[in-house]
Chain A
């Protein structure tokens, strides 16, 4: 059975009747032209935007039976830009660690990001470093499903490879990943099944 299952998801005028089956341990690379609605599809799965129709289930449980925050902490969307809050890297991690739903993992979330100094002002991070912060923060939250939106696109190849390895490890440990990526070789590197959008 799929870990994340979507049936007939519609968000007009961007996409109609999308299905998705994402099994535990699986990475699916989603590619398609810019502006085709890939990001909106990820946002719809994460329940960040309302949809016009469709069913989404996690582990067979219908999304509407869980409240929004609980769903999103399990099906976690990571924005391409590596969104930062004001303050240091440590402040950024602490803000997420303090969320009620993340209490159990607070220590792990605060632990710090591989390759980043915790006292660095988050505003000064490069694009790639900000993406590293975002990915680390997301992985530390131990979601069931990661929805990655070009999550390593601004990293140098070496750094990208390291984070691809961490995402692969997340899947190997039973997670599932839907990864929007323009880099066609990414799928090969992380052993992903490829799907086109729309």
Chain B
């Protein structure tokens, strides 16, 4: 099958697309939703952020050698790790740093496996493979880490009597935190499992849409999407487990005492 010609979007095309935003504006005005300002900011951010991303990627793709790609990937990992914690209402000290560390290990392991082993791309840092795959992984792993961390820390605060009852009978920290950890890992993994169940039934996944628009054979796009969903599932599992295990280690001290005072509640951002 010959790829169809890619329809390149001009700024004029985007202006036409922006007309669609007017529907939101009309709704906000008619129903007095008070969303006009938010809508304007959101539209501008979409425009600016994605245009910038396009320019940055354009530049990165042109650089020889691995360093621009590595730098870009590190920035992405750090931002995702930061955002995962920023979304939570329960925090522990060092949470941001740990989230970045867990994010790095989980997303890079899966990205490298995907690029090198599955796709067989050489060199591994070929930017138009490594960066989009990492990006897809980060978005989802971020969710898993965030949900897992929130559920674990909230669980240790709420179930403190139960956890301490087990400790009082001689439980180690891992024995006493088993139920909280299980619940947190489950909670972190459920969204991606739901997405996998619904994939292709309710909507065409974003990446597959992009490939089809770019003229790819839909069957090949579907295989890519399957590969991506499996990779995401792996990344989410690694990230969620890593974060939950590390966080549940942090709320105990070296005598296996639950230190609930190490868990802070912050106002929702």
Q: Is the CB of B255 within 8 A of A83?
A: no
- Cα A35 to Cα B256 in complex, Å, equals 26
Residues from chain B with Cβ under 8 Å of A67 in the complex: 255-256
Residues from chain B with Cβ under 8 Å of A102 in the complex: 169-170
Is A23 on the interface with B (CB-CB < 8 A)? no
Binds B, one of A2-10, A12-20, A44-52: A44-52
Is B97 on the interface with A (CB-CB < 8 A)? no
Is A151 on the interface with B (CB-CB < 8 A)? no
The residue in A69, A76, A85 that gathers the most chain B C-beta atoms within 10 A of its C-beta is: A69
Q: Is the CB of B161 within 8 A of A138?
A: no
Q: Is the CB of A72 within 8 A of B167?
A: yes
CB closest residue in chain B, given A92: B165
1/0 per residue, CB under 8 A from A, across B163-194: the answer is 01111111110010001000000000000000
- Cα A101 to Cα B256 in complex, Å, equals 14
Is B217 on the interface with A (CB-CB < 8 A)? no
Residues from chain B with Cβ under 8 Å of A47 in the complex: 255, 257
Q: Is the CB of B161 within 8 A of A79?
A: yes
- Cα A49 to Cα B261 in complex, Å, equals 11
Residues from chain B with Cβ under 8 Å of A86 in the complex: 179
CB closest residue in chain B, given A98: B175
Residues from chain A with Cβ under 8 Å of B175 in the complex: 99-100
1/0 per residue, CB under 8 A from B, across A56-98: the answer is 0000000000011110110011110101111000000001100
- Cα A93 to Cα B168 in complex, Å, equals 14
Residues from chain A with Cβ under 8 Å of B259 in the complex: 50
Is B13 on the interface with A (CB-CB < 8 A)? no
Is A176 on the interface with B (CB-CB < 8 A)? no
- Cα A148 to Cα B170 in complex, Å, equals 16
Counting contact residues on chain B (CB < 8 A from A), the size range is 10 to 19
Q: Is the CB of B166 within 8 A of A96?
A: yes
Q: Is the CB of A50 within 8 A of B168?
A: no
- Cα A138 to Cα B165 in complex, Å, equals 10
CB closest residue in chain A, given B172: A69
Is B8 on the interface with A (CB-CB < 8 A)? no
- Cα A46 to Cα B165 in complex, Å, equals 11
Q: Is the CB of B170 within 8 A of A46?
A: no
Q: Is the CB of B165 within 8 A of A68?
A: no
- Cα A76 to Cα B164 in complex, Å, equals 11
Q: Is the CB of B257 within 8 A of A68?
A: yes
1/0 per residue, CB under 8 A from A, across B95-111: the answer is 00000000000000000
Residues from chain B with Cβ under 8 Å of A95 in the complex: 166
Q: Which of A50, A81, A96 contacts B169 (CB 8 A)?
A: A96
Given the interface contacts A81-B161, A83-B165, A99-B175, does A141 sit within 8 Å of B255 by beta carbon? Answer: no
List chain A positions with a Cβ less than 8 A from chain B: 46-50, 67-70, 72-73, 76-79, 81, 83-86, 95-96, 99-102, 134, 137-138, 141
22 contacts between A and B (CB under 8 A): A47-B257, A48-B167, A48-B258, A49-B257, A50-B253, A68-B255, A68-B256, A68-B257, A69-B170, A69-B256, A70-B170, A79-B164, A83-B162, A84-B162, A95-B166, A96-B166, A96-B169, A99-B166, A99-B171, A99-B175, A102-B169, A138-B169
Known pairs A50-B253, A69-B167, A102-B170 / 19 extra A-B pairs, C-beta < 8 Å: A47-B257, A48-B167, A49-B257, A50-B257, A69-B170, A69-B171, A72-B169, A73-B169, A76-B168, A76-B170, A79-B161, A79-B164, A79-B165, A83-B162, A84-B162, A86-B179, A100-B175, A101-B172, A141-B170
List chain B positions with a Cβ less than 8 A from chain A: 161-162, 164-172, 175, 179, 253, 255-259
**Nearest 9 Cβ contacts at the A-B interface:** A73-B170, A68-B255, A101-B170, A68-B256, A83-B165, A77-B168, A83-B161, A69-B170, A69-B172
